Structure 1
Amino acid sequence: MKKLLPLAALALLSLPSACSGQSAPATVKPGTYRAVLKTRGGDLPFGLDIQPTAGDTKTYAVFALNGSERLPMDQATVQGDSIRIPMALFDSELIAKIEDNTLRGVWRRRRAQQQFQSLPFEAKFGETYRFIKEEKPTSVNLTGKWATNFGSKTGKVDTVNAVGVFDQKGSKLSGTFLTPTGDYRYLDGNVVGDSLFLSCFDGSHVYLFKAKHDPATKTLTGGLWAGISGYESWVARFDPKADLPDAATLTYLKPGSKTLNVSFPEPNGKVVSLNDPRFKNKVTIVQILGSWCPNCMDETNFLSPWYKRNKQRGVEILGLAFERSAEIAESGPRIERMKQRFKIDYPIVLAGTNDKAQASKALPDLNAVVAFPTTIIIDKKGQVRHIHTGFSGPGTGKYYDQYVEEFNRLIDKLVSE
C-alpha cells in the first residue's frame, strides 16, 4: 500500500486541531502501548514505551519494543493535540493525535527531497499483547533452525538464502532470520493454530511475516510484507543443520592487493587516510556502514564501547559511511548524529553513496561490496587479514555471541604479533 501524502496534510497531524480549543498541549499517558501499522498484509504490531522527560510535560522518551529489544527513538515532542516521535537516522517519524487512551496518525518516511511515503498508525495505552490477546494452546512447536528460501518460485526450498532461528514458549514466538548479508533483527510474535505471525518495527525495518505450518513435511509457507509496499513469498524447512555460506568468503581482496587504499573526508572536511600516523603499527578495523542501516547500528552498538575498552591496546577503527547522498552538506550532519547517538570516538568518513556498485568502485581493492555492514581487519603491517560480510546482531542470540568471541580472539592474536 504505497501512499504519498501531500506535505500540507501531513503537517496538520503535528499541529493543534483548529477547532479543539486547546490552550495548552495535550499530555500523553505514560506507559506501554500496543502500536500497529496498517499494511497490505494486515496489522503489523509492535510495542511502544512512552515516558515523560523529568520536569517537562512537552517532551517524552520513547522506546520501540520488539522481543527483548528496547530501542530508543529520538526525543518526542507534543504540540497542541499531537505527538511527534522522530527517528532521524532513518528519515522517519510517527505523528499522531492524542485521543485519551489512543494515539492515531501515520508513520512516514522521507524518500526523496520532500516526498514522503506513509502508513496509518495507531497505538492503544495499556495493551501489551502482540498478535493475540490470550494465549491459546497449540500443538505446533517451531523452536529450532529452519532452512529458508525467500522469493521461492516453486513453493519449495530449492536454495537456502536464509536460516530462520526461532524460540517458542507456549504460543509466543521470537527469533530472526540469518542471511549472508546480515539478519532481520528482533522479530516477535505468536503461533496461532497452525500459523506463524512475526513482526518488527524499529524506524527503518517494517516487517510482517505470516506462514502456515505443514506437519507432514515440516515446512512453513508464507509471505513477508516489508516497508510500504514490499512483498516476498518464502518457504522454510525444519533443519537443525541448516547453515549459510562462510561470511569470510563473500568479500575479498582482488589478486595483487594486500591492503586498502582509502582517503575520504570527515563531516568537517578533514581528509582521513589509512596512511595517517593514527593507524601506523596498529591493528585497524575498517567498518563499512551507513547511518540508514539498522544492521550497521547493531554493529556500531558493539564496536563503539568495545573501542573505548580496547583502544589503549594499539587498535584503531575507521568507519567508511556510504550514505544516500555523496554531498557532505547533506550527509555530514547524518554522520554526526550517528556519532552522537552511539557515542563514537573513532573517525567516520563519507566514502560515497549507498549503492553497492558505487561503493565497490570507491573501494577498488575489493572484489565487491555486497553488504552493509562489512568489516575489514588489518594487521600492524597494514595488510588485510580478515573480511567479514554482514553482521549477526544481538537479536540472533548465540550467533551474535559466537561472532563476538571470534572477533576478540582474532584481535588478540593480531595485537600480540
Structure 2
Amino acid sequence: MRKLIFLTLLAVLATSCHHHTHLEEGIWRGELSLVEKSAPFLFELKKTGTDSATVTLFNGTERVELTGATIKNDSLLIPILAYDAYIKAKIGHEGLEGRFVKNYIENDSGVPFRAVYGTAHRFEPIEKVPNHRIDGKWNVLFINDEGDTTRNVGIFQTVEAATVRGAVAASPAPASGTAASELIVTGSILTSYGDLRFLEGSYTENGVQLSAFAGLSPYLLEFTFEGADAFTGIFYTTRGKTRLIATRNDQAGLADPYSLTKLKPGKETLSFSLPNLEGKTLSINDERYRGKVVIISILGSWCPNCLDEMEFLSPWYKANRSRGVEIIGLAFERKDDFAYAQGALQRLRDRYDTGYEIVFGGKVGAEATGKALPELEKVNGYPTTIFIDKQGKIRKIHTGFNGPATGLFHEEFKQDFNKLVDELVAE
C-alpha cells in the first residue's frame, strides 16, 4: 500500500512538473505594460525542435517572424534581433510571465510581459458595435502636457475578422448592429516623420481601441466618439501618454515632406567619407557614383519606418540599378561602436537582401549627423532620403516614409518616388 501511495505521488508530481514546463503551440495573447495601461497583441508560437521555436507577431495584415526562440527548463527566450531586444518569460500554469528588455539601454529593467494561450481576440469582444464608424481619413491632433499640438493624419477601416486572419482585403464598413466580435478595425496614424505602422483593434460601446507591437515599441490607443465626425482619445506608450482630438476629413494631409529638411545656404553637394560594413572607407565622390543618380537613405536599424523604406528600396534597386541609379544607406545607430553597428546593419542587409552599400555615420543624434552631413541644417527625422542628380547636386530631400500600413499614402509615395527618379535619369 505504501509503495502504491508513493508511486501515485511520484506520478502526480511528474505530471505537475510536466504541465508547468509545457509550452503550447498555437495562438497566444500577450500584453506589455504601458503607463497606466497595457498593450495587447496576438502571436503564434511554433516549435522548430524540442528546445526551439519561431514566434510570429500579428498586427493587422502584418506578420513579423521572430526566429531563434529557445526553450530551456521552464523558460522561454524570444530574441528580437532587428531591434536588439528580447522577451524572457517563465512558463507557468497560467501562461507566460516575464519582461521585454532592450539590450541597447544600459541596465534596462525591461517592461512586464505576460501571455495566455488559446485567446484569439486582442480586446474583449462586445455584442454590438456603436452607431458611428471610424472608416476614412481624419485630422488627428496630438496634444502634449504643455498644450502644444502636432498635426497628424489617421486612416482607418473596418474589416471582417476572417479577412485579417487570412488573406486580407478591405471590406465596406458593415452596418451598425453587426456583431462586434466579427469585426476588426485596422489602420495607422501618419506623422510628418513616419507612421505608427500597422494598428489593429476593435470597437467599444462608444469608440475604438487599437494596439500594436512589432518588436520595438508597444502602443495602445483608446478613442471615444464625439458624434459621427469626431473623436477624442489617448495614445499610451511605455514612456507616457498623449491626448488627441480628431475630426473627419477626406482631404486630410500633412506638410510637404520635401520642405522639412533643408540645405545650408550655399550648399548643394555632399562630401562624406565613412566606413561601409566591411570597414572600408566609402565616399560619395567615389568613381562608382560619378555621373549617376544617387539616392542617400539616412536610416537606423532601430527605426521601424526605416525598415519599411529598406523593404521598398532593396527590390527597387535590383530592378533599376542598370539605369544608372545608385543607393547608399547612411546609418546612425544606438551606439558609437562600429562592431555593434556592423552586426545590426548586416542583419538588415541579410533580412532584406540589400544589394547597395550601407555606411556607418556614428551614434544617432545631432553631433554625429552634423559631422557626417554638415551641408544639412539638421536631420529632422528617420528615414530622410536625399536625391542627387548626375552632376552630384542635391535636387530634393524627402523627410519620413509612408509605409505599407498607410495604404493610398504609400502608393502615392511610390508614384512620386518613381516619377522623380525617372526625371533625374532622363536628364
- TM-score by shorter chain over 0.5: yes
Q: Distance in 2 between matches of 1:255 and 1:382?
A: 17
Could you tell me how far apart the structure 2 residues matched to 1:357 and 1:295 are?
A: 22
Matching of residue 345 in structure 1 with residue 345 in structure 2: no
Aligned to 2:85: 92
1:151 maps to a residue whose letter is I
- Find the counterpart in structure 1 of residue 324 from structure 2: 314
Q: Corresponding residue for 1:219?
A: 230
Mean alpha-carbon deviation: is it higher for 91-100 or for 398-407? 91-100
* Distance of aligned partners of 1:22 and 1:277 in 2 relative to their CA distance in 1, 3 Å threshold: farther
Pairing 1:60-209 to 2, within 5 Å after superposition: 60-99=53-92, 102-113=95-106, 115-134=107-126, 136-151=128-143, 161-169=151-159, 171=180, 172-209=184-221
Q: Which amino acid aligns with 1:308?
A: K
Aligned length: 392
CA distance in 2, matches of 1:322, 1:387: 18
Question: Taking structure 2 as the reference length, what is the TM-score of the superposition?
Answer: 0.85
Given candidates 267, 274, 289, the residue that maps to 1:264 is 274
Q: TM-score, normalised by structure 1?
A: 0.87
Equivalent residue of 2:244, what SS? strand
Amino acid at match of 2:221: F
Post-superposition Cα deviations, 1:190-220, rounded to whole Å, max 9, x if no partner, equal 121112211111111211111211117x322
Could you list the per-position Cα deviations for residues 127-148 of structure 1 after superposition, in whole angstroms to 9, with x for gaps in the alignment? 2212123552321201111111
Report Cα offsets for 1:264-286 as digits up to 9, x if no partner: 11233211101112212221110
Distance in 2 (alpha carbons) for counterparts of 1:234 and 1:341: 36
SS at match of 1:202: coil
Question: What one-letter code is carried by the residue in structure 1 that aligns with 2:191?
Answer: T
Three-state SS of the structure 2 residue aligned to 1:246 is coil
Bigger helix fraction? 2
Structure 1 Cα separation of the partners of residues 17 and 421 of structure 2: 59
- Corresponding residue for 1:34? 29
SS in 1 for 2:278: coil
* Corresponding residue of 2:47: 52
Secondary structure of residue in 2 paired with 1:106:
strand
Deviation track 1:80-121 (CA, whole Å, cap 9, x = no partner) reads 1211111123122111222367222222223533x1132222
* Paired residues of 1:205 and 1:294 also in contact (CA < 8 A): no
SS for the counterpart of 1:73 is strand
In the TM superposition, residue 152 of structure 1 has moved relative to its aligned partner by 5.0
Question: Which residue is 1:7 aligned to?
Answer: none
Tell me how far apart the structure 2 counterparts of residues 22 and 278 of structure 1 sit (CA, whole Å): 63
| CA apart distance, 1:159 | 5.1
Contact persistence 1:44–1:199 (CA under 8 A): yes
Q: How many percent identity over aligned positions?
A: 39
Q: 1:154 to 1:91 in 2, by over 3 A?
A: closer
Task: Point out where structure 1 has 5 or more consecutive residues left out of the alignment.
Answer: 1-18
- Whether the aligned pair in 1 keeps the contact of 2:274 and 2:359 (CA below 8 Å) is yes
Q: Is the 8 A contact 1:140 1:193 kept in 2?
A: no
Distance (whole Å) between structure 1 residues aligned to residue 135 and residue 156 of structure 2? 5
On the 8 A contact 2:82/2:302 being kept in 1, the answer is yes
Q: Tell me the SS of whatever aligns to 2:417.
A: helix
Q: Which amino acid in structure 1 is aligned with residue 152 of structure 2?
A: A
Q: How far apart are the structure 2 equivalents of 1:75 and 1:27?
A: 18
1:132–1:21 Cα change, 3 Å: closer
In 2, the alpha carbon distance for the partners of 1:166 and 1:178 equals 11
Once superposed, what is the RMSD of the aligned Cα atoms? 2.4
Q: Determine helix, strand or coil for the equivalent of 1:325.
A: coil
Q: Is the 8 A contact 2:130 2:207 kept in 1?
A: no
User: How far apart in 2 are the matches of 1:147 and 1:357?
Assistant: 34
Q: Say which is worse superposed, 145-154 or 402-411, in terms of deviation.
A: 145-154
Report the residue type matching 1:87 in the other structure.
I
5+ residue gaps, structure 2, are 1-13, 160-173, 175-179
1:298 corresponds in structure 2 to 308
Q: Provide the residue aligned with 1:401 in structure 2.
A: 411
Bigger Rg, which one:
2
The answer as to whether partners of 1:29 and 1:101 remain within 8 angstroms in 2 is no
Tell me which residue corresponds to 2:8. none
Q: C-alpha distance in 1, partners of 2:145/2:343?
A: 43
What residue number does 1:274 align with?
284
CA separation of 1:46 and 1:401: change in aligned 2, threshold 3 A: same
- Matched residue, 1:379: 389
Could you list the structure 1 runs, at least 4 aligned residues long, displaced by more than 6 angstroms after superposition: 19-23
**Structure 1 residues 83 and 154 mapped into 2: Cα distance closer, same or farther (>3 Å)?**
closer
Distance 1:40 1:238 in 2: 28
**Whole-Å separation in 1 of the counterparts to 2:214 and 2:366:** 23
Write out per-residue CA displacement over residues 215-265 of structure 1, whole angstroms, 9 at most, x where no aligned residue. Answer: 17x322221111x23221221122222211000111122222222111111
Q: Is the 8 A contact 1:357 1:369 kept in 2?
A: no
C-alpha spacing 1:48/1:86, structure 2 compared with 1 (3 Å)? same
Separation in structure 2 between the aligned mates of residue 346 and residue 28 of structure 1, nearest angstrom: 41
CA, structure 1 residues 135+388, in 2 after alignment: closer, same or farther (shift >3 Å)? farther
